[in-house]
Structure 1
Amino acid sequence: MRFMIIVKASPESEAGKMPSEELLTAMGKFNEELVNAGVLLAGEGLHPSSKGVRVHFSGNKRTVVDGPFSETKELIAGFWLVQVKSLEEAIEWVKRCPNPMESDSDIEIRQVFEMDDFGAEFTPELREQEKRVMEKAKAQQQH
């Protein structure tokens, strides 16, 4: 099972405040533990929403909205993508994580959909297309 572990933004992360050397060291150690356990697939921090945009969809119309965005508690400051056996295992990993912010913070854990989760609507042709696309994307990342 794959899970996305979502680090929620804080007023500090949205202000662009960089983590301390101490926090960077602790996070590096935690990331190393994830890698050594063979569960880390990806993980990154994100720039504040002031450097981002949202694309709003309304029918066929697309509208680009510049950041920053007001609801800090709803924003994402970073993530890990892990592959573990269960939600309980993902929770145990997150409990070992250093606090990613200088203040109180939240980390959300969400399971990633797998092909089998989509049922009959995800036809064999669509499955094959998805497999080809993901293999091509993976090959491009290695170059």
Structure 2
Amino acid sequence: MRYMMLIRLDSSTAPAEVPDDAMMEAIGKVIEDMTKAGALLDTAGLHPIAEATRISLSGGKLTVLDGPFTESKEVVGGYFLLQAKSKAEAVEWSSRFLEAHGPDWEVDVEIRQLDEPA
């Protein structure tokens, strides 16, 4: 089963400074472990919400709006695509990833199973 882990941050509570070397090393270790276990299919961080573009469809009309989006408090900051035997395994990997951030960060991960082709 494949799972998408959407990494969500609250832009109003995220530390202003860049992550320190210890945190990056801890996150790197989790990513290395995911890779060695054959669980990690893909991962990436996302550019800031200020660089985003939203496209909406309402009443048959498309609207294209470039960021920044001032109403955005919680944003998706990155993702992982995992191959896991179960949802419990995806939860375990997500938990390890979050724990690597330490006590100064408030981060959520939303885990969603991907529909597999028929």
TM range (shorter): 0.7 to 0.9
User: Max radius of gyration: which structure?
Assistant: 1
Long gaps (5+) in structure 2: none
Indicate the residue corresponding to 2:40 in structure 1: 40
Question: TM-score under structure 1 normalisation?
Answer: 0.70
Higher relative contact order (CA 8 A, sep 6+): 2
Long gaps (5+) in structure 1: 117-143
Question: TM-score under structure 2 normalisation?
Answer: 0.83
Contact kept? 2:15, 2:105, Cα under 8 Å: no
Higher strand share: 2
One-letter amino acid of the structure 1 residue matched with residue 110 of structure 2: E
In the superposition, relative to structure 1, how do residues 46 and 14 fare at CA in structure 2: closer, same or farther (>3 Å)? farther
Contact kept? 1:6, 1:80, Cα under 8 Å: yes
Cα RMSD for the two superposed structures: 2.4
Contact kept? 1:4, 1:111, Cα under 8 Å: yes
In the superposition, relative to structure 1, how do residues 112 and 78 fare at CA in structure 2: closer, same or farther (>3 Å)? same
Indicate the residue corresponding to 1:72 in structure 2: 73
Distance 1:17 1:53 in 2: 25
SS of structure 2 residue aligned to 1:106 = strand
Query: What's the % identity of the aligned pairs?
Result: 37
Distance 2:44 2:102 in 1: 12
Indicate the residue corresponding to 1:106 in structure 2: 108
